[in-house]
Amino acid sequence: MALKLNLVALPSHNLKSAKVFAASTMQYSTTRGSESTKRDSYWPAKEVHFQVTHSMPPEKIEIFKSMESWTTKNILTHLKPVEKSWQPQDFLPQADSEGFYEQVKELRERSKELPDDYFVVLVGDMITEEALPTYQTALNTLDGVRDETGASLSPWAVWNRGWTAEENRHGDLLNKYLYLSGRVDMRQIEKTIQYLIGCGMDFKFENNPYNFFIYTSFQERATFISHGNTARLAKRYGDAKLAQICGTIAADEKRHEIAYTMIAEKLFEIDPDATVLALADMMRKKIVMPALLMYDGQDDNLFENFSAVAQNLGVYTAKDYADNLEFLVGRWNVAGLTGLSSEGRRAQDFVCRLPSRIRRLEERAQEKAKQASTIPFSWIHGREVRV
């Protein structure tokens, strides 16, 4: 899980890609449905962007086929064997032990010290993790790296399934913790999960693995930071067990970040022009995080409000967004790329200048920010928190 911040306004046009990518099939949807069906449907509660599919020609697909042996050697090693992996039960009261009720009581006592805004962020994190069916579906739309059969032995498919299996534990663990805490409205949370999976996700990948590996490098790093900050806050509020839970999830996200950034680094080495174009394209669109289309049956702006709480609490901020981009630009040595086309050089210049631009825009936005207000969240029984 990670968050999207709507605090900066960047150009909405995308880099032209006719020289690199084949013609695309485009679809467009702007509404969630009629007002009469709005509350009962799976239409997204907000606009879905201009959708592009299959924007990668066959010669680019061959690049990913040629990377399969490299992927086996360098990427699959970042998956942990199941028998050596942690499981949610390792951190939760033991239901088959005589001390189960005492353990639950202790958990509930610790959770009393956590403020409502913290629970809003923790719930949003959990809901995002629980929407994994959407994310695995998205992985299997990608040209060149999808799981063609559902049980393919391609290293790309093995990674996709293994990554999903590891991530699945995060939602399970947080869900059970929140249920046992007694601090949240689980039915409203469960409705939000069902809505989110039903609405899907507007990733803006274009079925294009270049775009996807840029996205996941950024998103997994954002997730690592977000869970790390919830761990530190839990420790500050006196819940050492929850701090351990969030820290353990953050460590998983860091391992996944390393794998995805290695893939992108390899693409910059093999095909720097297409990769820098993909980086600029995704940053012009802005990285949108997995729970963008979340809805609880009441609040059409639920994700924006959840993100605002996370910003106020310092869990994931506009500064983090700029820092993440700056880190990745440096990690991939984007400034040092050579042999680029004229379009690639423009993309290179745009991306290298972007972190400082984001920071300037954010400073202006903060100066103009209005007095903070409070709004109710159904996840915490309608109690209000500052946004």
Tell me the binding residues for Fe cation. Answer: 129, 167, 170, 220, 253, 256
Out of 86, 116, 248, 323, pick the active-site residue. Answer: 86
Out of 252, 257, 281, 320, pick the active-site residue. Answer: 252
Alpha carbon 64 to chain centroid, angstroms: 23
Helices 186-199 + 132-139 axis angle, to 10: 20
Q: Which one-letter DSSP state was computed for residue 379?
A: G
Question: Would you call 256 a catalytic residue per the annotation?
Answer: yes
Question: Would you call 167 a catalytic residue per the annotation?
Answer: yes
Distances (CA, A) of 125 to 45, 99, 134, 143, 327: 19, 29, 15, 29, 23
Question: Would you call 220 a catalytic residue per the annotation?
Answer: yes
Out of 130, 185, 220, 273, pick the active-site residue. Answer: 220
Question: Would you call 223 a catalytic residue per the annotation?
Answer: yes
Dihedral sign computed on CA atoms, order 166, 172, 173, 175: positive
Q: Give the 3-state secondary structure of residue 59.
A: helix
Q: Which two tokens stand for residue 134?
A: 């959407």
Question: Would you call 62 a catalytic residue per the annotation?
Answer: no
Out of 125, 129, 185, 299, pick the active-site residue. Answer: 129
Question: Would you call 86 a catalytic residue per the annotation?
Answer: yes
Cα separation, 42 vs 40, whole angstroms: 7
Out of 43, 71, 147, 170, pick the active-site residue. Answer: 170
* In contact, 226 and 1? CB cutoff 8 Å: yes
* In contact, 184 and 251? CB cutoff 8 Å: no
Out of 117, 130, 147, 253, pick the active-site residue. Answer: 253
Out of 143, 167, 185, 281, pick the active-site residue. Answer: 167
To which residue do tokens 């509020």 refer?
A: 237
Question: Would you call 109 a catalytic residue per the annotation?
Answer: no
Cα separation, 138 vs 140, whole angstroms: 5
Binding-site annotation, residues: 129, 167, 170, 220, 253, 256
Out of 128, 134, 223, 275, pick the active-site residue. Answer: 223
DSSP class per residue in 91-148: GS--TTSTTHHHHHHHHHHHHTTS-HHHHHHHHHHHHHHHTHHHHHHHHTT-TTTS-S
What residues are annotated to the active site?
86, 129, 167, 170, 220, 223, 252-253, 256
